[in-house]
Homo-oligomer: A and B are copies of this chain.
Amino acid sequence: MGNSEDTERAGGSRVRVRRLGIDTRQEPVIYLRSDSPVCRAEGFESQTRVEVRGEQQTIVATLNMVASEVANGTLLEPGEAGLSEVAWRRLGASSGDSVVVSHADPVSSLGYVRAKVYGHRLTDENFRAICRDIVEGRWADVHIAAFLAACGGERLNAEEVASLTRAMRDVGQTIDWGRRPVMDKHCVGGLPGNRTTPLVVSIVAANGLCIPKTSSRAITSPAGTADTMGVLTRVDLDLDEIRSVVEAHGGCFVWGGRADLSPADEILNRVERSLDLDSEGQMVASVISKKAAAGSSDVLIDIPVGQTAKVRSDKAAAALTELFEGVAGGLDMGLRVVQTDGREPVGRGIGPALEARDVLAVLRRDAEAPVDLAERSVLLAGHLLEMGGVCSVGEGASRARETLESGEAMTKFREICEAQGALREPPTAPYQVPVTASRRGVVKRIDNRRIARVAKLAGAPEDPAAGLDLHVRIGDTVEEGEPLFTIHAESQGERDYALDYLSAEEEHIFSVEEYE
């Protein structure tokens, strides 16, 4: 006797489609009136997984029924099917096109969620099927959530994380640079203003190594590297343009979003964020799959450690380091991990333009350039120079410092930006409000998360000039009334929004303790 589910589908029913404009993120949704003949004929109910066959494409969507008495004359006509934005895009539909809807076939890769729930090990082949179905939209968000929970904790061993990573790499585009080494760096994150990447890339490329850096825009932070570099140059290059810049200049600073590298990662990440799960296995797979897809052979990982950073203890950093190394080994990738100070923001500016200004100041060797940003960039670039064989172990940092101080890094930076299409000066914000210390004392702690929130409320990263400028660091002494930081905003409303939050939270952001 065959599988009891293998042929449950009848021929399907035909309906006209209509774009409703509803953004359901990665999960395609189809809207049908409860009185539409198709619902009755197919035995659909809300949440049914529906196959939608168009002229060109076939997708799977989740059904939301629409009460006919409410829909009348507005949302949908009988015989019409509404589509959410992602469903509309994936189907490649035009208004009024006719499609065939039917029950979706059971998705066999969902069986691996059950297998993982029951503690079974998954194979390369299993992870490959999972990533393929996720990218093709065959899994609903609830399935992805169940998968992430089943894989969380320590339920994926290093071998499984490596399998998942390879599957994530292979399901999207990959880039082959036709040479080795190809350098890259990644920061585990959580530190506002920590914009070392443009500096590291400039130093490393100026030393003749290949470092084709793709970066992301901010997701939950006030600025991503792509936001900061977007202030200074054009970052939305396609793959051919990236190739030509890198071949001519050894490096680039581009947004990775156009390259379709590790598309499974984007989907998994989004669901993981809404679960507020922060699984190490998932994070490592995410980082390494993107680097591998981008063709990197040697990767430096920066783990800032601090109470309000992403990684909060040396012990956690050590466990993460071990996993990174194990997975990179399974992908034939060179990898070095460096642990850095994560107690407070790096540099002065937080927000795209303010960080861009700091980066330029360091490259130009301005007197007021933030020393911590320069030093951290030198440290990281030094490791990459050693990994890439430019100099021997122990000599990387001094070589990196020379490259920065001699102006070669600035030259390289300008060269790359111009090849990408422009080198612009960062804009400044019309509204600037200093926030001052309410008493004299010593700055004991700075809360990275709350500082980031102030910058976001002021408008970063959507408003490039918005954010804030820090005037003090941990250990500094301040007098009552002395400015701690300045809020930068492009509109009065956003300035006030940030100030409102501050009035409630100021005490928690900077801990200023009286000295004896």
Question: Residues on A close to B: CB < 8 A?
Answer: 1-2, 4-5, 7-8, 10-11, 19-25, 31, 34, 41, 43, 46-47, 49, 64-71, 74-75, 84-85, 106, 110, 113-114, 117-119, 140-150, 152-154, 270-271, 274-277, 279, 307-308, 445, 447, 449-450, 453, 456-457, 493, 497, 500-501, 504-505, 508, 511
Contacts and interface: CB of A to CB of B under 8 A. Distances in A.
Nearest to A275: B146
A277 B497 CA distance: 45
Nearest to A33: B21
A153 to B, nearest CB: 5
A21 to B, nearest CB: 3
A424 to B, nearest CB: 25
A511 B43 CA distance: 27
B271 A142 contact: yes
A23 to B, nearest CB: 4
Contact of A64 (B23, B143, B152, B508): B23
A25 B43 contact: no
A53 B114 CA distance: 38
A140 to B, nearest CB: 7
Contacts of A144: 142
Most buried by B among A66, A68, A270, A276: A276
A8 B453 contact: yes
Nearest to A505: B7
A118 B153 CA distance: 4
A449 B4 contact: yes
Nearest to A448: B4
Contacts of A49: 274
Contacts of A274: 47, 49, 140, 142
Contact of A110 (B276, B450, B500, B504): B276
Contact of A22 (B31, B43, B85, B148): B31
Contacts of A505: 7
A23 B276 contact: no
A216 to B, nearest CB: 15
A1 B142 contact: no
Nearest to A111: B276
A31 B82 CA distance: 15
Most buried by B among A110, A143, A271, A456: A143
B275 A149 contact: no
A11 B146 CA distance: 34
Nearest to A120: B153
B70 A46 contact: no
A41 B7 contact: no
Given A22-B66, A141-B145, A142-B144, 17 more contacts: A1-B307, A1-B445, A1-B447, A1-B508, A8-B453, A20-B70, A23-B64, A23-B66, A25-B47, A41-B493, A113-B149, A114-B152, A114-B277, A140-B274, A149-B149, A149-B150, A150-B150
A278 B445 CA distance: 49
A441 to B, nearest CB: 15
A46 B110 CA distance: 25
B69 A1 contact: no
- Ranked nearest first, the 10 interchain pairs of A and B with the lowest CB-CB distance are A21-B70, A21-B67, A117-B152, A146-B149, A142-B145, A149-B149, A145-B145, A23-B65, A23-B46, A4-B449
A162 B71 CA distance: 44
B23 A67 contact: yes
Nearest to A141: B142
Contacts of A34: 23
Contacts of A75: 20-22, 74-75
Nearest to A71: B21
A275 B110 CA distance: 8
16 contacts: A11-B500, A21-B68, A21-B69, A21-B70, A22-B65, A23-B34, A23-B66, A41-B497, A49-B274, A114-B152, A117-B153, A141-B141, A141-B145, A142-B142, A146-B277, A149-B149
